[in-house]
Structure 1
Amino acid sequence: MALALYRKYRPATFAEVVGQEHVTEPLRTALAAGRINHAYLFSGPRGCGKTSSARIMARSLNCVEGPTPDPCGKCDSCRALAPEGSGSIDVTELDAASHGGVDDARELRDRAFYAPAESRYRVFIIDEAHMVTTQGFNALLKIVEEPPEHLIFIFATTEPDKVLPTIRSRTHHYPFRLIPPSSMRELLERNVAAEGVDVEPAVYPLVIRAGGGSARDTQSVLDQLLAGAGPEGVTYQRAVSLLGVTDVALIDDLIDGLAAEDSAAVFGTVERLAEAGHDPRRFASDLLDRLRDLVLVRSVPDAAARGLVTAPEDEVTRMTAQVERIGLGTLTRYAEIVHNGLLEMRGATAPRLLLELLCARMLLPSVSDGEAALLQRLERLERGGVTAAAPALAPERSFQRPSQRAPEAARPPEPAPRPAAEPAPRPVAEPSSPVAEPVAVQAEPVSDGFDAAEIRRVWPDLLAAIRKTSRSTEAMLTHATVQSVEGSTVVLSHTAEPLARRLSEPRNADSVASALHEVLGGTWQVRCVHGGSGGGGSPRPSGPSPRPQPGPPQREAPQQQQRTFQRPTQQAQPAPQVKPRPAEPDIPLPPEPDEDEAEILAEDSVMAGSAPAPVIDPDEAAHQLLSEHLGARRLD
């Protein structure tokens, strides 16, 4: 019969205990200094090393070279108290779950007065100490308070609050903790290397999550996987099917569908989940763990490097791409919905129905009046690029010197501002416009069978393929999503209208189509539309925004006649002669940009989030200021 991993690789010294340095280091220091107490209390979750540390403590106390923090491992006491040893007559281990009554405590008290047979100390290890009855603790109270010099008590428990306070006050209390994932992975990799079995790296996070931070439970899960491993070792698919966890591909499909607000992809994932026989409750729990990781990746960009997120490198890359399309407020709302749904699923007779209702709540933030739903709708508007038409609404004015201006009478009247003008409707893109025209790589037919969810799943691979041919196209695809697949045409959606136009140009569309051919095979056509949600609604056309039409001419106010007062002595004096100013030489203005340059400038201003500032005419501003003070329309 094979020995279990948690027994086979049980630590023999304090240096081998994993993840409990806050306990082992003080104990090693006390043993080295010879400051030995008569009673210890080790508390903490199950399987974190309490009983093993108690045995190591007894081994360190009774070593020939001891008390020492590093037992020699060669003397009779060290060999007897080793993990695979036969045990020592001077070290008694008692399970209080079955021997916690007053009679058992009295028998232990009577045996405590006998001197050790062949060791330095008699050590009593009482496991599950919280199961000792009150009468049993009272029977031990006197001997624990004033024990003989050769006697040492070590209590181990998962519930220290249930230990009698008078007993607890007479011990040195060392609280153990759950083992962190990084330390647990080192332990598992060391055990796997000793066993000589191949284990895929993606299996370790599944085992660690199933173990829940307990070294014993985690090694038991790994032992089960190693027992059923084939010639190829422990594969990810074998671990997923055996442990009952959700396949990460299903979680990625659901997250991508939520990011694109694709109802068909979301509910299609739930259907595949049910067909595969997965538990909806377990899927919701795993989805909540993924949402937690996404919140951390969005809040802390280097969360994986800091150890806040434990996942394989390729999964971290997918999560980084997902948080680029989902805001922090939206992720928080998703997590709250799933958490509340898990509470509702307890004892539910139709867990799949509840899971589908959770998905519907996440897809429809407008049905809720809460603050989280409002924040999600605001983030959706921000992704929609509502300021895309801002440059078209700002009037363009050019600077001219006074010598280049037309006479006042020849100037057209300025348009009167409209108090509440409705924006003109956007023109619908014709089939010949660059946005609606698909660009094909070849004229061959494409093999069907791919939907939007499958293309979203290979989106990182597509970006890597596009990077080989055009880095500018890859940069423009940062905030783009796959909206739908119409036969051989892939419809992309972008939050910025100018970039949607640029992505539909033949050069950029050819790059995307070539990448699709490289990753998926076949021949594809690509077009890009403007829209923030990309969820199945009609996309907003990305044509140029119309400029506001000028209103009727405004009639100029008549100029007031200016009167001057002169004294009688001043009327005979001639008016001073003013020499005319010489005409200023004409300075040629810089040429206006052509249509391509103007479009690029407009796109840059849109991506910057602000419209180009109008050029201010200083002479025009001076005339307006004087007109306000003197009541005249213009002074030349």
Structure 2
Amino acid sequence: MALALYRKYRPASFSEVVGQEHVTDPLRMALQAGRINHAYLFSGPRGCGKTSSARILARSLNCAQGPTPDPCGECSSCVALAPEGSGNVDVVELDAASHGGVDDTRELRDRAFYAPAESRYRVFIIDEAHMVTTQGFNALLKIVEEPPDHLIFIFATTEPEKVLGTIRSRTHHYPFRLMPPGVMRELVERICADEGVQVEPAVFPLVIRAGGGSARDTLSVMDQLLAGAGPEGVTYARAVSLLGVTDVALIDEMVDALGDQDGAGVFGTVNRLVEAGHDPRRFATDLLDRLRDLVLLHAVRDAGERGLVDAPAEQLTKMLGQVEKIGPGTLTRYAEIVHTGLIDMRGATAPRLVLELLCSRMLLPGASDTESALLDRMDRLERRAAVAAPAAPTAPAAPAAPVASAVAPAATPVAAPPAGDRPVFQRRSQAPAPVAEPQPEAPTPPPPATQPRQAAPAPVAEPTPAPAAPPAPEPEPAAAPAASGGVDVAAVRQSWPALLAAVRTQSRSTEAMLTNATVLSVEGNTITLTHTAEPLAKRLSDPRNSDAIAAAVESVLGGKWQVRCVHGSAPAPARPAPAAKPAAERPVVQRRSQQQQQQSSADSAAPAPSRPEPVRRSTQVSEEPPPPEPPADLDEQLPPDPASEREDEEAMLDEVAAAPMGSPDVKQHDPDEEIIKLFSPLGARRID
């Protein structure tokens, strides 16, 4: 029976141990200096040389010329402890996977007190030490802490964290590691040369990858290939079929098809690998390895010479061409997609379907890292953001239609209800906004201006058929004069989305607080904002937030600015009294003025006049001569008339419906504000 390669080529001294110099060199120095500890802990992955090093340490300790780092190999102890030796009674090797109970450790403890039979030390090698139970470790704790002079413990484990902490703290811990691919290839090539078997160079990367860095696993794979080799030796085709790895030609076809965005080539490769009997999961793993090599080759052009990529020279040349075709960003995206697909393939009932889906994700458009593709994507994102952003309030409000009514012989004012019964008026007045300047539609000269809460409204002047010139438009009361550069309220509101984006770059919290804020006025270089929440209005007035907003305005509109914020219910900045508007533009005020004036004249003519049904929403201005001036104090002389009050409320509601509520910019003609001014001397009444 042939001896397995990992047993036949097991090292017999520390100088023969490959790839673990960080462990063997300190041990050799300790043996040479005679600084020997009573307990050692060897940890590391499987097949990296832990148990072999423990046997070499026992051999070095009991050598006739020892303790020595280089056993002689001729004395009885060295011969007995050789890789093919019969063993020594003073060196006990215990497999804790099957003998880790408390009874086994108690027996070991009892045997530890006996002196060695023929050697210098009694050495207990406990393999798979993490399998020892807690009770077993507790049974060994005292003797490991204070052992006899002739006793040495060597624990070998793949999971050192599972070893009892009190045991681990009393040992010298030496961590073993997996072997690098370059060192492993040298070892495998030397062993194949000693065996006298011809192996193609492309086979060694497959064997090393299958071994996963473990020397024992790699030698076991190589032993399997050597056993099935023919007269021509170990060929690449035989290794691919035997190990179940993906043919490198299929990997090249897949990468080339992805670089060309060739869907037919990609899915044709998937079909060929399934027809050949390859595992889709293994293909995805091999494809991920290739993408990793391509990323490294892009970052390090001489990765092959440095040992970062293990591939033949002709394969490296082909891979460099693939790197030139596919950019680093696309390669990274491919690797992320394949990695996610491998996670999805775990336990999948249809791995081919998952593989085809991840291939389709790699073929999605927009993955190219060329400049034109990136610019095109940015352009699409900007257009999408512009559509999703709220429209700037630039559209003018609908002009108010002129409303006039036939004047009744007698009219009575509305009785003053309680002051708290005015919810509609309060909602509109809590958020003052600038009133857009209306365009005059009738050539009627304006009547004398009236002051609210001081005198009754002036009578409506009779329109003239052909005026000499239209009256001058009323100046906007809420908007302050534009700052230097022509920036006014409309310009600031139109640039509001850009201002929010500029604020976001400086403070995201300030941007969040500006969600329900609106521009109230622009006076010189000062911008006044209004906010519906009083705490947030105070926060926005803090220097830190106001400076951030001012800097954003400067970056968007230019100039130096100061920003302040007021609560929505606070009174607006002082503004001049509005001039009287033409009769056609003040339908509600005109209606109330005509009724009050004619009521005064009717009271002097008859004690109980009858009032005909008024005409609603007439488009013609009354032709009757203006009545005499009504008395100043209407609260004492005019009794309330419920019918007239209801008609006035309906007319006011028609005007309110013309402008949508909640919009801070639609204030072309605000009937609510004029009604409040008219009703202020008389009180207000809730509009149902």
Tell me the TM-score normalized by structure 2. Answer: 0.54
Q: Is the alpha carbon distance of 1:380 and 1:238 closer, same or farther for their aligned partners in structure 2, counting shifts above 3 Å?
A: farther
For the Cα contact (< 8 Å) 2:327–2:369, is it kept in 1?
no
SS at match of 2:94: strand
1:244 aligns with 2:252: no
State the Cα deviation string for residues 256-294 of structure 1 (Å, max 9, x = none): 111111111111111111111111111001000000000
CA offsets, 1:409-462, max 9 Å, x none? xxxxxxxxxxxxxxxxxxxxxxxxxxxxxxxxxxxxxxxxxxxxxxxxxxxxxx
Matched position secondary structure for 1:208: helix
Other-structure match for 2:71: 71
Q: In 2 relative to 1, CA 273–36 (structure 1 residues): closer, same or farther, beyond 3 Å?
A: same
SS at match of 1:365: coil
Letter in 2 for 1:49: G
- Residue 206 of structure 1 aligns to which amino acid in structure 2? L
Work out whether residues 95 and 128 of structure 1, in 8 Å CA contact, stay in contact via their aligned partners in 2.
Answer: yes
Identity fraction in percent:
81
> What amino acid does structure 1 have at the position aligned with 2:288?
L
Query: What is the identity, as a one-letter code, of the residue corresponding to 1:219?
Result: L
Q: How far apart are the structure 2 equivalents of 1:88 and 1:126?
A: 15
The answer to whether the Cα contact below 8 Å between 2:31 and 2:68 also exists between their aligned partners in 1 is yes
1:513 aligned partner: none
| Cα-to-partner distance string for 1:327-378 (whole Å, 9 max, x where unaligned) | 0000000000000001111111111111111111111134xxxxxx4xx354
Structure 2 partner of 1:616: none
What residue in structure 2 maps to residue 209 of structure 1?
Answer: 209
- Does the CA-based 8 Å contact 1:258-1:363 persist in structure 2? yes
Provide the residue aligned with 1:345 in structure 2.
Answer: 345
- Cα distance in 2 for residues equivalent to 1:196 and 1:383: 60
Q: Which letter does structure 2 place at the counterpart of 1:364?
A: L
1:63 to 1:268, Cα distance in 2 relative to 1, 3 A: same
Structure 2 vs 1, CA of residues 54 and 361 (structure 1 numbering), >3 Å: closer, same or farther? same
Q: What is the DSSP-based 3-state SS (H/G/I as helix, E as strand, rest coil) of the residue aligned with 2:325? A: coil
The residue aligned with 1:109 is 109
Q: Which residue of 2 aligns with 1:88?
A: 88
SS of structure 1 residue aligned to 2:173: strand
Query: 1-side partners of 2:14 and 2:224: how far apart?
Result: 27
* CA apart distance, 1:379: 5.5
Q: CA deviation at 1:381?
A: 3.9
Cα separation, 1, equivalents of 2:104 and 2:260:
66
**Secondary structure class of the residue paired with 2:42:** strand
Q: What whole-Å deviation, never above 9, does each CA across 1:86-124 have from its counterpart, x for those lacking one?
A: 001110000001110111011000000111111100000
State the distance in 2 between where 1:320 and 1:97 align.
49
Contact 1:327 1:379 in 2 (8 A): no
Q: 1:113 to 1:190 in 2, by over 3 A?
A: same
Partner residue, 1:274: 274
On the 8 A contact 2:31/2:67 being kept in 1, the answer is yes
Partner of 1:388: none
The change in CA–CA distance for 1:348 and 1:80 in structure 2 (over 3 A counts) is same
CA distance in 2, matches of 1:302, 1:136: 53
- Counterpart of 1:50, as a letter, is K
Q: Secondary structure at the residue paired with 1:117? A: coil
Write out aligned runs for 1:479-518 (5 A): none
| Shift in CA distance, 109/380, structure 1 to aligned 2, threshold 3 Å | farther
Distance 1:382 1:200, change over 3 A: farther
Greater Rg, structure 1 or structure 2? 2
CA distance in 1, matches of 2:190, 2:375: 47
Contact preservation (8 Å) 1:330, 1:379: no
Amino acid in the other structure paired with 2:37: N
Secondary structure class of the residue paired with 1:173: strand
CA distance in 2, matches of 1:144, 1:258: 61
What is the number of residues matched between the two proteins? 376
- The separation in 1 between residues aligned to 2:343 and 2:363, in whole angstroms, is 20
Seen in structure 2, the aligned counterparts of structure 1 residues 343 and 271 have a Cα distance that, compared at 3 Å, is: same
1:311 partnered with 2:334: no
- 1:44-89 CA-to-partner distances (Å, cap 9, x unmatched) read 0000000000000000000011000000111111010000110011
Does the C-alpha gap of structure 1 residues 82 and 129 become closer, same or farther in structure 2, counting only changes over 3 Å? same
> Which position in structure 1 is the counterpart of 2:158?
158
- In structure 2, how many angstroms separate the alpha carbons of the residues matched to 1:380 and 1:118? 82
Offset of 1:314 from its aligned partner?
1.3
Amino acid at match of 2:129: A
**CA–CA separation in structure 2 for the residues paired with 1:345 and 1:60:** 49
- Output the CA distance in 1 between the equivalents of 2:365 and 2:109: 67
TM-score (norm 1): 0.58
* Contact 1:93/1:124 (<8 A) preserved: yes
Task: Determine the structure 2 residue equivalent to 1:227.
Answer: 227
Is the contact between residue 253 and residue 269 of structure 1 (CA under 8 Å) also seen in structure 2?
yes
1:469-518: CA deviation from partner (whole Å, max 9, x where unpaired): xxxxxxxxxxxxxxxxxxxxxxxxxxxxxxxxxxxxxxxxxxxxxxxxxx
Q: Which residue of 1 aligns with 2:56?
A: 56
Which amino acid in structure 2 is aligned with residue 221 of structure 1? Answer: V
What pairs with 1:449-460 in structure 2 (closer than 5 Å)? none
**Is the partner of 1:155 in helix, strand or coil?**
strand
What residue is the counterpart of 1:44 in the other structure? 44
Partner in structure 2 of residue 524 of structure 1: none
Could you say which residue in structure 1 is the equivalent of 2:132?
132
The amino acid that maps onto 1:201 is P
**CA–CA distance in 2 between the matches of 1:134 and 1:340?**
40
Paired position in structure 1 for 2:419: none
CA distance in 2, matches of 1:365, 1:206: 34
Whether contact under 8 Å (1:259, 1:326) holds in the other structure is yes
C-alpha distance in 2 between matches for 1:311 and 1:299? 17
Q: What residue number does 1:354 align with?
A: 354
The aligned residue for residue 14 of structure 2 is: 14
- Give 3-state SS (helix, strand or coil) of 1:324's partner: helix
Aligned pairs for 1:323-338 (under 5 A) are 323-338=323-338
Match of 1:299 in 2: 299
CA distance in 2, matches of 1:71, 1:135: 37
- C-alpha separation between the residues in 1 aligned to 2:374 and 2:133? 63
Paired residue secondary structure (2:78): helix
Q: Does 1:146 align with 2:146?
A: yes
Instruction: Tell me the amino acid that sits aligned with residue 350 of structure 2.
Output: A
- Per the TM alignment, residue 305 of structure 1 is displaced from its structure 2 partner at its CA by 1.1
Structure 1 residues 9 and 380, CA gap change in structure 2 (3 angstroms): farther
**How many Å separate the matches in 2 of 1:150 and 1:380?**
77
Structure 2 residue matching 1:40: 3-state secondary structure: strand
In the other structure, the counterpart of 2:505 is none
> 2:152 aligns to what SS in structure 1?
strand
